[in-house]
Structure 1
Amino acid sequence: MYMVLDFPFPLKDRDLVVQGKMTKDSQGIISIKNKAIDKNILKNPDYVRLNHYEGDWTFQKLGPNKVKVSTSGYANPEGSIPLKFVNMFVQQQPYQMLQKMKNQLLEQEGTPAHLPTALR
């Protein structure tokens, strides 16, 4: 998967190529492990390429239409970045990703959509 991370001005945006592996254990817990890879994908000069990234997602069914989502990760942002930008990214990025997931599960009328089969 190819991703572009929007960094605030005056910093350059970052990009990375991620390979993920999904597993489901005997208790039904789904885990996704992601890692940055460099498969000779052409680098875009407008972005700083991230080569050191690892991230995990875990989805655990708690009840009908209720799922616990956990995430953790590490990334080297490549370059000198002021601490205030690093802290802002660390705080906002997981929240924004979870909000996007939540929005994907909502139908147009605002009623909960059906969970993916693997989480039912």
Structure 2
Amino acid sequence: MNHNKAYPLLILLVAILLISIIAKPLQAQQWQQVKNQEGIQVYTRAIPGSGIKEFKAVTTINSSLDSVLGVLNDISACPQWVYQCTQPALIQSISFGERYVYQVNDFPFPSRNRDIILHAKLNQSLTTKTITIQLQAAPHFCKNQQTTICKKVNQSKLVRIEKSKGFYLLEPIAKNKIQITWQHHMEPGGNLPNWLVNNLITDAPFYTLKKLARIVQESKYQKAKLKHNAKGLIIGFEVKSW
């Protein structure tokens, strides 16, 4: 055997092995179920480089896609179902499927409340009709804008959440039966201890989806009717009573 040729190959194999060992801890861990109650399953997992865990919550709601989207479209209803949500406001509507919204997150005393600007973008599959609503923090969206709402946002003394990313996945699985998955990771900023935030992220998705299942049954959302284009994709509401 030619040892001169074998050494580079050996070095390459060792390098690949070291890379795989180093990279492994950087991968997100497997989901761990932390709650399974009232038809809602909540999972968390560690995220590389963050002391705050990511959560995923799954449930099935007995209602139409029209009604579920009716609730999600109604920004003013946020405090009635989204955990810790207060002072919601529409900053800018780009289209039916894209907008920027503002809200305050009410953290427990003595922690300071946080506020956030979220960029929400809706996409729908042509084949399955499944809807994904991507949510990502846009902390500087109002920086150079002089609209009334942006002036208010810019004057806020609250801790601004700068890292927040997730999505709602709405999957029709039968007539008037929607499976909802909410997956999210957020860094609240400031000096909150990680253990406190990680405790909250177990409660947040559970109580949010529990209240969503209740509020979606209100008559104003049950009356909602979506409008579709020629391809069958959602472009707005034909009936909207909120």
Name the structure, 1 or 2, with higher relative contact order (CA <8 Å, separation 6+): 2
Runs of 4+ in 1 over 3 A off after TM superposition: 112-118
Q: How high is the sequence identity, in percent, across the aligned residues?
A: 24
What is aligned with 2:199?
Answer: 88
Shift of 1:43: 4.3
1:44 equivalent to 2:156? Answer yes
Distance 1:6 1:76 in 2: 15
Assess, with a 3 A threshold, how the Cα gap between structure 1 residues 43 and 54 changes in structure 2: closer, same or farther: farther
**CA 100–67 in structure 1, closer or farther in 2 if over 3 Å, else same:** same
TM-score (normalised: structure 2): 0.43
Written as runs of structure 1 = structure 2, the 5 A alignment for 1:9-88 is: 9-26=109-126, 27-37=128-138, 38-39=140-141, 40=143, 41=150, 42-45=154-157, 47-88=158-199
SS at match of 2:213: helix
Aligned to 1:6: 106
CA contact (8 A) 1:105 1:115 kept: no
* Cα separation, 1, equivalents of 2:131 and 2:106: 28
* Residues 116, 32 of structure 1: alpha-carbon distance in 2 compared, 3 angstrom cutoff: farther
CA deviation map 1:25-51 (0-9, x unaligned): 021100000111121140411x21001
| Stretches of structure 1 lacking an aligned partner (at least 5 in a row) | none
SS at match of 1:87: helix
Aligned equivalents of 1:36 and 1:8: distance in 2? 22
Post-superposition shift, 1:79?
2.0
Flag the structure with larger Rg. Answer: 2
Offset of residue 116 of structure 1: 5.5
Give me the TM-score of the superposition, normalised by structure 1: 0.84
For 2:210 and 2:186, locate their aligned partners in 1 and report how far apart those are by CA, in whole Å.
21
Q: Which amino acid aligns with 1:23?
A: N
RMSD: 2.1
- The structure in which a higher percent of residues are helix is 2
Q: What residue ranges of structure 2 are gaps of 5+ in the alignment?
A: 1-100, 144-149, 227-233, 235-242
